[in-house]
Every structure is written in structure tokens, then in C-alpha cells.
Structure 1
Amino acid sequence: MNLSRTSAGINDAPGLLYAGFNQDYGCFAIGLDTGFRVYNCHPLINQAKNESDDGGIGLVEMLYRTNYLALVGGGRNPRYPPNKVIIYDSIKAKPVFELEYKNYKYKKRIYPIFYLYIYIYLYRLTVVLQNKVFVYHFSLPPQLLHKFETCDNEKGLAAVSTSSSHAILIIPGRQKGQLQIIDLNSLGYYISVGESDHNGPPALPPLLTSESTNSATSLSNNNHSNGNGINGNTRRSINVSIIPAHTGKLSCLSLNQDGSRCATTSDKGTLIRVYNTATCALLHELRRGVDRAEIYAIAFNQESTRLCISSDKGTIHIFNLDPSVVTHMDHKPRGPTYGEVVTYPTQSPSNYGLTNSGNRGSAFSFMKDLLPKYFSSEWSFANAKIPTESRCLVAFGEQKNSIIAICADGTCYKYYFDPRNGGECTRESFERFLKD
């Protein structure tokens, strides 16, 4: 959640520039105008910090719970130039290497790099610019595997799966509303299943742990390969699929852990669509609401049976994706059965029953062939309300049936939801990780 790219709220904590979870949602990092901090989620503990008057950090990306972080300068006094990615070793308290991105030509004009986002997953380093995406093999020096074109991507939208056997990257397409699904293993440097630990974070890249690196290595994007293959000598067959996900511009993306499912929303923020990344088939279309909203985060649970989102409405929504998780079936799904005498409902459409997936549905859903698509929508199974309606990130917690929200006002909320009946979540705890 890059707080500097969206309008600030009246309750925002001063000096907070960025907040983001690590790959397994067990930790989160924040960027400040004085540096950065890393917190453990369960319990909420400040594990590491690097703060000084040297300047601000606008982006912090963690590599699981390792000592490597990717940093980009930010704020009024950036610690590093905003067009550089710094790979930082928190144990040695110094940069390992940096990547610099100079101005580049786009549509026959020179555009400065104002938008720079970073993602680290396994042995891949992904750098997202306003309309380009660079994918590197995470080593020293980093090897450029490929670069992709996108439409204007001011939010730096991208997501990478954490599975080594099914490494998937999703980014916006070249046209508005399109989604690109990229098989990262088709780019080269294939990582076998045996090279990662499925019960925890993967082994560190061996080239980065070498003691021979005594100082940071500076690299310019102009000195890398041309993106057609390793060293630019051979062209590889890249596995890329295109999905026309929405008619409007994409606003948020997410992948489940094994890369088999992805979720998207548009700038309208009313519908969340879930796709199969292998077949590009639409699996679910979920409705957040009818009013336009900005979606801040989408997260799958570990089993990919549920999905949660947060928006600028101050509400967290939880959806069921697998009917098998619905254990309470006393509520029959809406709709008549064969031979049943139908009495047309007199209730308003705001009264909901449960659909076959366990989500709420309209009371008029049995007339979905006659009524607009709205009446066949699936609404959230459970929800939680952020009291201050602050901008927040949300994820499923380590405890069963729990969710965690990290808010721009420097607070952290933990909620539990009823897996049988859904409805309003119960607030378990409230803590302030960043005081005024």
C-alpha cells in the first residue's frame, strides 16, 4: 500500500509512506520519512528498524523473514534516489547492490521514472515501472530475464506466486482492463521443487550470501541483457496469456500461493473476478457493493477457499470460493425447487439468503434469467468494519478464521469470523504500531 500515491486521510499517521506484508503474511514492513521498520504479526513485535535523519523510504519489500529487503527512497527527503532499487542487508546494515532506471522513451516522448515498485519472490526480482516490468534472476549481479510492456500502471500493479514449481507473475496488459499471466519458469533459471522448503521460506540465493561482496554493486538498466533471453543471445519461448478481465482500468491484483488462481478488480471497485491462471476461465464473480470504491488489497487464504478485500469504504469483506467450507447448510440456497409453489417475495433486494458457495445472494436470485445481472450477484459471506475508515491492508491471519488489518493511521486490528454463519466479524484485538 503506497500511501504517497493516494490521497491522505485525516487520521493518517504522520510520516508513514508505505506498508506491506511479506509473502506469507507473517510480517509486515513500513516505510517512513525517517527510514523503515519491520514488525511480526503474531504477536505484534517490532523486529527491526533503521531510522535516522538520512531520509525517507517510500517502498519496502521483504523476502519472507530473511535479512534482505528491497528499498526505494521516498518522502520529501528521500534516502535514495527514487529511480533506484536498493537491495539491503539488514544484518550488515548496508546495501548489497542497486538497480538504476534512467529516463526512457515511451510513445516517442521521454518520460521520467516517477513510479517504481518492487516485488521479491523466491529467485525472482520484479521491478515495475509506469509502463514496463523488468524480471530478474535474483543473484549477484542480477540477470535480466525479460521485460514486458504494460498500459499506464501508476499503482505498480503486479503479483507473484510463492510456488517454485508454478511460478506465476500477473501484471496489467497493454490495453485497459487486460491482465497478463506469465509463467516465470519459462523465462529461464528454472527452480526445481527441491530447492525450496514448502514448510517455510526458500533457501537464500547463494550468490547473494557470498562473503566476497564487500560493497554495493551499482547497475544501470541499460547494461543488462535485451530481455530476449539470458545474455541476449537466444530468444526463449515465453508462456504469456492475456485475459480481458474488466472493461475499466485495473485497480488491484492478487494471486494465491500456488499461482493457480488470481483475483482482479477495476477502478470501479464493485466486482471482484477470480480466474484460473492455467485455463484463463472465470471461476467467480463477487460483488463488493454497488457504489464506486477504491480497493486497497485482495488476499487469498492459504487453502484458496476464501478471499478477503479492503476498500476506502472502511469495510473488510470475506467471500467463500469453495462450497466445501460451508459447514452450516441449514440455510437453503435461494431459488425454488421442482414442484414447489412459488410465492413472489415482497421483501426488498437487501435481504439475502446463502448461495451454493456460501456467500450471500439476492432474494430475487431465482429470477436471475429475467432480471439484471445484479440480482444474481454473490455478496460477501462475512465482513468487518474499521472504526476510523482508514486506508488499510488486509490478510488472513495465522490463527484459524482470523484476519489482520494494517491501517494508515498506524493501527493494527485482528478479527475473527464465524466459519458457519458468517456475518459481522468479532474484533479480537487492537494495537497501535506507530504512535504520533
Structure 2
Amino acid sequence: MGHNADEDMGRLLNISFNQDKGCFAAGTTTGFRIYNCDPLREIFRRDLIGGGGIRVVQMLFRSNILALVGGGPDPQYPLNKVMIWDDHQSRCIGELSFRSEVKSVRLLRDLIVVILLQKIFVYNFADLKLLHQIETVMNPNGLCELSNAVLVCPGLQKGQVRLEHYSSKRTKFFMAHNSRLSSMVLSSDGLFLATSSSKGTLLRVFNTLDGSLLQEVRRGADRAEICSLAFSSTAQWLAVSSDKGTVHVFNLKVDSGSLNIDRARSSSEPSSPTSHLSFIKGVLPKYFSSEWSVAQFRLQEGMQYIVAFGHQKNTVVILGMDGSFYRCKFDPAVGGEMTQIESHNFLKLEENL
């Protein structure tokens, strides 16, 4: 019976970066793989006995601990279970079971967060004890982000955000958009939140301390499904990928050092492309007053890509559900099209590198 090598490797079901964006994990119809981003190399792979599919793989930084959820046509584990995998022992050391399908999982050093369609469960990592249970609006994409003791997820109505500050035990609700939330991301210090709605035209940046709107930027005038959002390490830049096949990078006015929003721009940064239009603001439609991206990178339309900022200055790493890996560079002073530094198919690395 003839079959090709691609079938042996399995088809991609999911890709996700780890917390510091130095690694990424891929869930396939036959198991999972872990990669280093810079330089790009496969760290390890597990092709599971019986060829079981893994739809969620969440890394805990660079440790040997992963959270796995089964998926695909032949799931390795039931869809309503989260398996805690220890790769030193090559086996599961714990599991959490639910009444319905697990949509996604998030990990921090001391917390495991499990997202279902309308509920989120927060557990203590050490003893898997349930700490917190959150009700949400319908959340088919499993939106939920966790950073520095801040958890953010959809609220109880469409477009609403719920913020949990675990250190101060405070909960805050606010409206981020009029339509359904499609994507969200926290900055690494947990101070800033970026969101998009199902329209996919405007992205908003909020202060997580009080939920105030800090900045609004515009991806485009036409509707798009936002696949991922990413802050740079200092929250100076925001990257966004959509099903339109374009990655945009925006210059943010927020500053992790101080919450002073209108900080003076250094001369190396381009002023936002709206400034020369301000004198006719009253005449133009509103979308000319929200800011447009500084830099762009074009990819295949209709394919899902996720983005992160690279560890080298002004670089962006893009991963595609077709196995594509791009590293590109943007020029903060000039903007415009990004320069491609490298491109690979990470599923076929042995042949490429």
C-alpha cells in the first residue's frame, strides 16, 4: 500500500508560541513537536502510539511540562480532557476532565487555565486544586490570556472584556467593542491589553489597571478575521495577522516605563500616518483619524498565520497553518514593506536546513 511521507508526519491542527516567544509548539494529527525560534530548529517531537491527534499543545516556558488536548479525526485523548505531559518521563503526570470540549489552555508557573465554550476554570498548578470558575459569553475560539497575575477573557455579553487581577483580587468589566471579540493579547508585564472584534477593522489598546482606552489603530477598511495579535517586549509595537494574508505592525504610544500616553516621539520614529490629515479631520470619515500601520508583510490570503516579535530588534516571526515559517524585519524610521530574512517549512526542516 503506497503512501507519501507527508501522511506519516501528520497534518497541522494547531500552532502556538510559548510565553517568551522563544519557542513554538505544533499539534498534528499524529502527535506534537516543539521548535526553537532563533535559530529555527526542531527540539523534539512525539509521534504518539496509534497515531493520535493533538489539537492543543501549550508549553510552560522552556520546561519539560506541556498541556495537551486531543483533536483531529483520530484524537489521542478525549476532547473534554487536559493532559499534563512531562517530557522527561514521556508520559502524562496528571489530567483534568470536564463536561464539555476543551477549547484552549493557558499556563503560567503557578496556574493552569482551561477554557470551555462558556466557562473558564483556573487551577493551582502544584496540586491541580480549583481556585476560580468564570462564566463567559459563548467563546468558540477559547479566548483567554494570562500574564503576570492578570487574566483577561470575554465577559458576559458580546464585546465585553473581563479583567482579573489575582494579586489584588480585583475584577473589572468593560466594553471593548460593539461586536464579538475575535482576538486578545496581554503585554508581557500584564499592563496593556490589545483586542480586536469580529469586524477586524479596528484594534484597541487598553490599560489593564482601569480598563481605559489608550489607543485605537486601524488594520484596514474591509472586514477580516484576526488570527493573532502580539506586543513587542516593551509594548512599543503591536503586530496583527488576519485571513487577508497581511501582517501589520503598528507603532504604539503606550510605554511600559510610564503610563504617560502622549510621550514625546523620538525623531527616529515615524509620526503616525494621520498627522498631516488632522487639519481636515472635520471633513473626512472617522477612519482617517485612527492610525494606520507602519509596516506590512504580505502572505497567502485565506491561510491562518500567527505572529510574534523576534528576539532580534525590529523582527517579526510568522507561522502558518501550512507549516510556513517567516522571519522578517521592519524599519521603524521608513516603515512600508518588511524585508524577509528567512523562510522555511518547519514540518520539513531536515530537508531545508
Question: Which whole-Å deviations, capped at 9, do the CAs of 1:126-176 have from their partners, x for residues lacking one?
Answer: 00110001111111x311111011000000001111x3xxx1000000011
- TM-score normalised by the chain length of structure 1: 0.73
Higher RCO (CA 8 Å, separation ≥ 6 residues):
1
Match of 1:254 among 185, 192, 214: 185
Equivalent position amino acid for 1:423 in 2: G
Question: Which whole-Å deviations, capped at 9, do the CAs of 1:408-434 have from their partners, x for residues lacking one?
Answer: 111100000002111110000001111
In the aligned structure 1, how far is the partner of 2:290 from the partner of 2:96? 45
The answer for the alignment partner of 1:136 in structure 2 is 123
In the aligned structure 1, how far is the partner of 2:290 from the partner of 2:338? 22
Alignment partner of 1:185: what SS?
coil
Q: Percent identity?
A: 44
The answer for the alignment partner of 1:299 in structure 2 is 230
Q: Which runs of 5+ in 1 are unaligned?
A: 1-12, 103-112, 187-237, 330-353
Q: How does 1:41-190 map to 2 (within 5 A)?
A: 41-52=37-48, 53-102=50-99, 113-139=100-126, 141-161=127-147, 163=148, 167-186=149-168
Alignment partner of 1:365: what SS?
helix
Equivalent position amino acid for 2:222 in 1: D
Equivalent position amino acid for 1:43 in 2: P
Match of 1:282 among 213, 220, 243: 213
Q: How has the CA–CA distance of structure 1 residues 114 and 319 changed in structure 2, closer, same or farther, with 3 Å as cutoff? A: same
Alignment partner of 2:167: what SS?
helix
Q: How has the CA–CA distance of structure 1 residues 14 and 47 changed in structure 2, closer, same or farther, with 3 Å as cutoff? A: closer
Q: Number of aligned residue pairs: give it.
A: 331
Equivalent position amino acid for 2:152 in 1: I
- Return the offset for 1:367: 2.0
In the aligned structure 2, how far is the partner of 1:435 from the partner of 1:45? 11
- TM-score normalised by the chain length of structure 2: 0.90
In the aligned structure 1, how far is the partner of 2:275 from the partner of 2:191? 29
The answer for the alignment partner of 1:332 in structure 2 is none
Alignment partner of 1:420: what SS?
coil
Moved over 4 A (4+): 323-326
Match of 1:24 among 8, 20, 25: 20
- Return the offset for 1:360: 2.0
Equivalent position amino acid for 1:36 in 2: F
The answer for the alignment partner of 2:257 in structure 1 is none
In the aligned structure 2, how far is the partner of 1:321 from the partner of 1:294? 22
The answer for the alignment partner of 1:226 in structure 2 is none
Q: Which has the larger radius of gyration?
A: 1
Question: Which whole-Å deviations, capped at 9, do the CAs of 1:273-318 have from their partners, x for residues lacking one?
Answer: 0000002111000000010000011000001111100000110100
Q: Which runs of 5+ in 2 are unaligned?
A: 1-8, 254-262
Cα RMSD after superposing both structures: 1.8
Q: How has the CA–CA distance of structure 1 residues 97 and 90 changed in structure 2, closer, same or farther, with 3 Å as cutoff? A: same
